[in-house]
Amino acid sequence: MNNVGIIGYGAYIPKYRITTQEIASVWGKNGEDIQKSLGVSQKSVPNIDEDSVTLSYESAISALTRAQIAPHLLEACFIGSESHPYAVNPTSTIVAEFLGLGNNYIAVDLEFACKAATAGMQAIAGLIASGKISYGLTIGVDTAQSRPHDALEYTAASGGAAFVLGGDKKEILANILDFSSFSSDTPDFWRREGIRYPSHGGRFTGEPAYFTHVLGAAKRLLEKTHLQPTDFSYCVFHMPNGKFPREVAKRLGFTPDQLAPSLIVDHIGNPYSASSLLGLASVLDIAQPKQKIFLVSYGSGAGADSFIFQTTPILIKKRRLAPLFASFLKDTQTISYSQYLRFEQKL
């Protein structure tokens, strides 16, 4: 990519949390065993008045604050999610209206499981590189759904991550050096229209799905750019649980220290489309100038997008302008399973 990168980023996490132990106790399970198996101790839960629109708005406000541009300059608003509030009625135009984008922008709602927003980042980067637009906004957001007493109930979380992209090197806090993708028809996770909860292939979601695609996208980009894991300061991988990102990082040759700052799953679970991008936001909160970041998202169905970012000195100044990811881990409230059901069902 030629002078295309992130000029602003933002995160938002609901304050409520439910622990793995609390969910397990309702179903007569051993919480410690499940926590050890999944590598998740708690997950974030949206309040009764929060959905993917409100989470998108909150994260986008922080991204625009860091970008230091007027909302009407954005010429694209792409929102990736598995939990758009409406089956027919775009999330992107609602969020854009609240933000004040005006009318002259491309609005797109994206769906590709947990990698929808990174697909949006690729598309907006291409539009900027081609000269069609100057600025664009991509948001990964979910209030993830899960069937009661399913393994996903312990991990399916909520959160939003927003990124403003631009092409002026004086504004870029992290350049997009290159990206790649790896896709196939691998139905490891699905939900038909009108069905409330998703289904999944159990253990099939691991080796032939997640690992095949994440490794495929990662290796292709490393080969394409002639870079090695040792060339990077940080790595970020999609986090369906606490074990998969650690295992895939190890297989690729990344160290625990390179991975640790991105592991938001340890604190909030898996917010689906926001997962890898919240991991990136967490890394940008601590990264220093001229450091390379390797990121691979993953979406069931299935596909993976890989990226290489390189930070600039502008990052240090801009990240002070909005709340850091760590701030959302301080003001939290643990809830009971009955409260969790009320919030989830908006009763």
- Residue of 50, 58, 75, 82 marked active site: 82
pLDDT at position 208 is 85
- pLDDT, one tens digit per residue, over 205-241 is 767 899 999 999 999 999 999 999 999 999 999 999 9
CA distances from 2 to 126, 127, 129, 174, 216 (A): 10, 12, 7, 12, 25
pLDDT at position 145 is 85
Mark whether 238 is an active-site residue. Answer: yes
Helix (H, G, I), strand (E, B) or coil at 330: coil
Mark whether 82 is an active-site residue. Answer: yes
Architecture per CATH, 5-172+324-331 = 3-Layer(aba) Sandwich (3.40)
Residues 6 or more apart whose Cβ sits within 8 Å of residue 165 = 4, 5, 6, 7, 121, 124, 125, 128, 135, 136, 137, 138, 176
pLDDT at position 203 is 62
pLDDT at position 192 is 79
- Residue of 84, 200, 238, 267 marked active site: 238
CA atoms within 13 A on the CB side of 24: 18
Helix (H, G, I), strand (E, B) or coil at 327: helix
Is the pLDDT reported for residue 347 higher than 70?
no
Q: In angstroms, what is the C-alpha Rg of the chain?
A: 19
How do beta strands 135-143 and 106-110 pair?
unpaired
Q: Name residue 139's amino acid.
A: I
3-state helix vs strand vs coil in the chain, percent to 5: 40, 25, 35
Q: What percent of the chain has pLDDT over 90?
A: 88
- pLDDT, one tens digit per residue, over 322-345 is 999 999 999 899 999 999 999 877
175-317 shares the fold of 5-172+324-331: yes
pLDDT at position 224 is 97
Long-range contacts at 265-268 (CB < 8 A, ≥ 24 apart) = 265/39, 265/40, 265/155, 265/239, 265/241, 266/39, 266/40, 266/41, 266/242, 267/42, 267/329, 268/13, 268/17, 268/42, 268/43, 268/44, 268/157, 268/159, 268/328, 268/329
- Residue of 50, 75, 114, 213 marked active site: 114
Structure tokens at 310: 């390189």
CA distances from 12 to 28, 44, 224, 330 (A): 33, 11, 34, 13
If 0-12 CB within 10 Å is exposed, 13-18 middle and 19+ buried, where does residue 271 land? buried
CA atoms within 13 A on the CB side of 2: 4
d(CA 344, CA 46): 7
pLDDT at position 204 is 57
Residues linked to residue 107 through DSSP beta bridges, in sequence order: 77
- pLDDT, one tens digit per residue, over 70-128 is 999 999 999 999 999 999 999 999 999 999 999 999 999 999 999 999 999 999 999 99
pLDDT at position 313 is 98
CB count, 10 Å around CB of 8?
27
Could you tell me the pTM of the whole model? 0.96
Tell me the CA end-to-end span of the chain in Å, nearest whole number: 47
Instruction: Break the chain into its structural domains and give their ranges.
Output: 5-172+324-331, 175-317
The CATH T-level fold of domain 175-317 is Peroxisomal Thiolase; Chain A, domain 1 (3.40.47)
Helix (H, G, I), strand (E, B) or coil at 285: coil
Q: How far out from the chain centre does Cα 247 lie? A: 19
d(CA 260, CA 172): 25
